[in-house]
Amino acid sequence: MPPPIPTATYRLQLSAQFGFVQAADLVPYLKSLGISHLYASPFLKARTGSTHGYDITDHSKLNPEFGGDDGFRVMSDALAAEDIGLILDFVPNHMGVGHSDNAWWLDVLEWGPKSPQADSFDIDWSGLPNRRDAGLLLPILGKPYSEVLEQGEIELKYDPAAGSFSAWYFDHRLPIRPQRYSEMIKIIVAAAGAESEPAGRALLDLTAQYSAPSDPDFAQAPAFKSSIAAIQGSAELIARGLHAYKVSTTLHWLLERQWYRLAHWRVAVSDINYRRFFDVSDLAGIRVENWKTFRAVHHLVAALIADGRLHGLRLDHIDGLADPIQYSRRLQRLARRSRRTPNRTPFYVVAEKILAEGERMPPLPGIAGLTGYEALNDISRVLLYSAGLPSLERTWHETGGVTERFDDILRDAKLHVIEGIMASEFMVLVRLLARIAAGHFPTRDFTLDRLRAALALYVVHFPVYRTYITGGDPSPHDRALINEVIEKARAEWTGPDAVIFDFVRDALTLDLVAPGRIGYAKPRVELFALKMQQFNGPVMAKSLEDTSFYRYHRLLALNEVGGDPALPGLPVEDFHRRMAVRAKEMPHGLNGTATHDTKRGEDARMRILALAELADDWAAAVPHWIGLNAPLRQVDHIPTHAHETMLY
C-alpha cells in the first residue's frame, strides 16, 4: 500500500495522445525518482478533445479518450505493483456545458426549472428581462441573433431514433420543449401535404392525445417520443415538412417559447443568469451544496476509493463553492464510508486556494493543506535581492511609461472587472441586495443605484479571495475583515446616507437575520451572503492575475498566482518563521515551485529574479533595446513601451 500521506508527487497531464496506458509505462521511472503518488490531471469524462480536462461533462464516467475503464485498470495495476498512490485533480465547482455532450445541461434546456437536474446548476430563472416566463440566457452565438436567424445558421432537426426535436447551432444542441411537439407536428404535416397519408393521420391522432398546454409532462414525455418514433413512415414525413421551420419568423416563434433565450456571446457581459467559472460561459457552476448533486458528482470517486484505486484528491477552485467548510466535511465523511477497512486516518485532500499576503489557511475540516502557491511565492521572495528593486522600479516607470502604484492599478482593474466582464454576476448580487432592502421599512429607500455604488466600493477594497461564513455567526477573523473593508468603503463614500454601509455589513455578516432581528427574509439574506463570497474570488483572480499582472512589470518573477509583485524580498529569518508556521498548520500541503497555472516556469523565474542583482545593467539595456527595435514598432504604438518592457 502507498503511504497515506504523500512524500513526493509527480503531476501528469493526461490527454487523448497521452492516456492511462502511456502513464502506466512511466510508473517504473516514477518509482526510480522516489515518487510516492502520481498526481493526475482531471480524468473524468470531459468535452471531446479537451486539452486540460477541467470541462467535465459527466462525473460518473472515466474519460474514454484516455482509455476508459480498461486503460484506467492498466494504470492502476501498474501503480499498485510499485506501491505508488494516485491523486486525482477533481473539479467540484463546475461542468462543461453547451454543445451536445452534457446530459444534465440538455435536460435543463428541455425542461427548465422542472428538470430533475435544475437544482444542480446555479441558475437565476427570474433573471431574464422582458420575459414573462422563466428562462436561461445562452450566449453561444457568434453573431447577433437576428443575423444568425436570417442566415439560417440555426436549424431545427428531428432525431428519428429518439423521437425528439432539437434546434442546432453548429455543434450546440438545443432541445425543444415536448409541450410544443403537438403544435410543431401539425405545422410539419401540413407543410409536407401529408394530412391524408397514413403516417400523417397517425401523427395527428397521437398529438390529439396531448393537446393540453402542459402535455406531455416529464413522466409522459418518454412514451410520447417513443410513440412518434414508432409510427411507420414518420421520419420520412417529418423530414419533408421541416422546411416550414426554415422560415426565420416561424423558427423565431418556436425558439421564443423555450426555456432558454439564444444570444450573441457579448450579451453575457450584462445579462448572464447562471453562475459560471469566472467569465467562461461554457463552464457552468454546479451546486454541490445540494445533497443529491453531491452524491451524483462523487459517485465514481467513492467507488474508486472503495476499490483502493484512489488515494487522494486535489480540489480545484474550492473558493467557488457556496460552502467550502460544509463540502470538506462531507467529503471526508464520504471517504470514510467508502473505505472497506476501518481507517481513522483522514483521506488525503489538498485544496487549490490562494492565500493573500499575511492570510492564514481557513478552517477546512479534513483538508491536509493547500496546493503550494504560497510556498512558491515565499521561495521566490527569499531568493530576491531587495537592494536592486528601487533601480528596477525606476527603470520600469521610465521605460514602461507607467507611473501608477500597483495598488492603484489593482483598484482600476477591479472596477473594470465588475463593470465589464463580470457585470452580469455583479448585478445579480445588487438586485438581490435591493430586494432585501425593499423588504423592510428602515432600508426601503436604499435605491438600486446607491446599493450598486456601495457594493462596488466594498469589492474594490476587499483584499483577499473570500470569507467563509456559513449559516451561523462569522468567525472573529471574517467579522474583523468585513468590518475593516466596510470602513474603508465608507471613508470613500461621497453620496448621502453613509448608513447604507451598516446595512451592507449586516447583510454580509448575517447580522441582519440574527436572533432578535426581524423584518428580513433569512433565506434571501443567507443566499446573498453566500453568493457574495463566491463572487469575490473570481473578481480578485480576473483583476489581479489576469489584468494587473499584465500592467505592472517591475520584476515579472513576482507576477505569479498568489503573489504580490509590489512586495520586497523576504528576509531569511522571516522565511524560516513562515516555514515553521507552515509546518505547524499544514505540514502535508504541497510544497510546489511550479503548477499548471504558473505564468512562467521555475528556470525562467530564477533568471528573472537575478535581474535584481544586475539592476544597473538592466537600466542601461532596456532603453537601448527599445531604440534598436523602434523601426519595428507599428504606427499605432503596438506594442506599447510597457508591453515591450514585459517582453524583454
Q: What is the CATH number of the domain that holds 77?
A: 3.20.20.80
226 in a domain, yes or no?
yes
Report whether pLDDT(488) > 90.
Answer: yes
The pLDDT tens digits of the residues spanning 158-191 come to 999 999 999 999 999 999 999 999 999 999 999 9
**Three state DSSP letters for 489-534:** HHHHCCCCCCCHHHHHHHHHHCHHHCCCCCCCCHHHHHHHHHHHHH
Percentage, residues of the chain above pLDDT 70:
100
Do 183 and 218 sit in the same domain of this protein?
Answer: yes
The residue among 236, 290, 237 whose CA lies nearest residue 123 is 290
Q: Alpha carbon of 558 to those of 15, 167, 412, 643: distances in Å?
A: 31, 49, 20, 16
Residue 344 has pLDDT above 80, yes or no: no
CATH code for the domain in which residue 246 is found: 3.30.1590.10
Asked whether the beta carbons of 263 and 271 are under 8 A apart, the reply is yes
One domain for residues 67 and 80: yes
CB 589, CB 350: distance < 8 Å: yes
Q: Give the residue from 38, 21, 13 showing the smallest Cα distance to 73.
A: 21
Q: Is 98 inside any structural domain?
A: no
Domain identity same for 107 and 252: yes
pLDDT at 127 over 80: no
Residue 188's nearest CA partner among 248, 235, 127 is 235
Split at pLDDT 50, 70, 90, the class of 132 is: confident
Same domain, 180 and 224: yes
| Same domain flag for 458 and 352 | no
Give residue 300's pLDDT: 98
Mean pLDDT of 388-405: 91
- Has residue 367 got a pLDDT over 90? yes
Give the pLDDT confidence score for residue 47 in this predicted structure. Answer: 96
- CA geometry: angle at 272 spanning 54 and 432, to 5°? 110
pLDDT grade for 131, boundaries at 50, 70 and 90: confident
What is the reported pLDDT for 638?
83
The residue-averaged pLDDT of 355-380 equals 93
For residue 621, what pLDDT is reported?
96
Q: Do 477 and 510 reside in the same domain of the chain? A: yes
Residue with the larger pLDDT of the pair 596 and 233: 233
Q: What is the pLDDT of residue 35?
A: 98
Average pLDDT over residues 380-391: 97
Using 50, 70 and 90 to split pLDDT, how confident is the model at 634? confident
Examine the domain organization and report whether 129 and 202 are in the same domain: yes
**Interatomic CA distance for residues 246 and 445, integer angstroms:** 50
Around 11, how many Cα atoms within 13 Å sit in the side-chain half-sphere?
Answer: 15
Q: Count Cα atoms within 13 angstroms, Cβ side, for 520.
A: 28
On whether residue 283 sits in a domain, the answer given is: no
Structural domains in the chain (count): 4
Q: Is residue 171 part of a domain?
A: yes
Q: What is the mean pLDDT of the chain?
A: 95
* Residue that is last in its domain, among 242, 277, 312: 277
Residue 3 belongs to some domain of the structure: no
pLDDT computed for residue 251 by the predictor: 97
pLDDT digits (tens, 9 = 90+) for 449-459: 999 999 999 99
Give per-residue pLDDT as tens, 518-570.
999 999 999 999 999 999 999 999 999 999 999 999 999 999 998 999 999 99
pLDDT in tens, 404-461: 999 999 999 999 999 999 999 999 999 999 999 999 999 999 999 999 999 999 999 9
**Which CA distances in Å does 527 have to 292, 308, 432, 441, 530?**
19, 38, 9, 21, 5
On whether both 112 and 252 belong to a single domain, the answer is: yes
Q: Is residue 41 within 8 Å of 11, Cβ to Cβ? A: yes
Last residue of a domain, which of 545, 575, 595? Answer: 545
535 within domain boundaries: yes
Is residue 256 in some structural domain?
yes
What integer pLDDT is reported at residue 130 of this predicted model? 75
Domain C-terminal end among 510, 525, 545: 545
Residues 245 and 299 both lie in one domain: no
* Domain identity same for 365 and 377: no
Q: What is the pLDDT of residue 410?
A: 96
Q: How high is the pLDDT of residue 640?
A: 84
In this predicted structure, the answer to whether residue 342 has a pLDDT above a threshold of 80 is no
| Residues 195 and 255 placed together within one structural domain of the fold | yes
What does the pLDDT read at residue 8? 96
pLDDT over threshold 80, residue 129: no
Same domain, 312 and 396: no
The predicted structure's pLDDT at residue 525: 96
Q: What is the pLDDT confidence band of residue 401, given thresholds at 50, 70 and 90?
A: confident
Q: How high is the pLDDT of residue 297?
A: 98
* Full residue range of the structural domain in which residue 63 is found: 9-93+288-370
Q: Decide if 4 is inside a domain.
A: no
- Please say if the pLDDT value at position 133 is more than 90: no
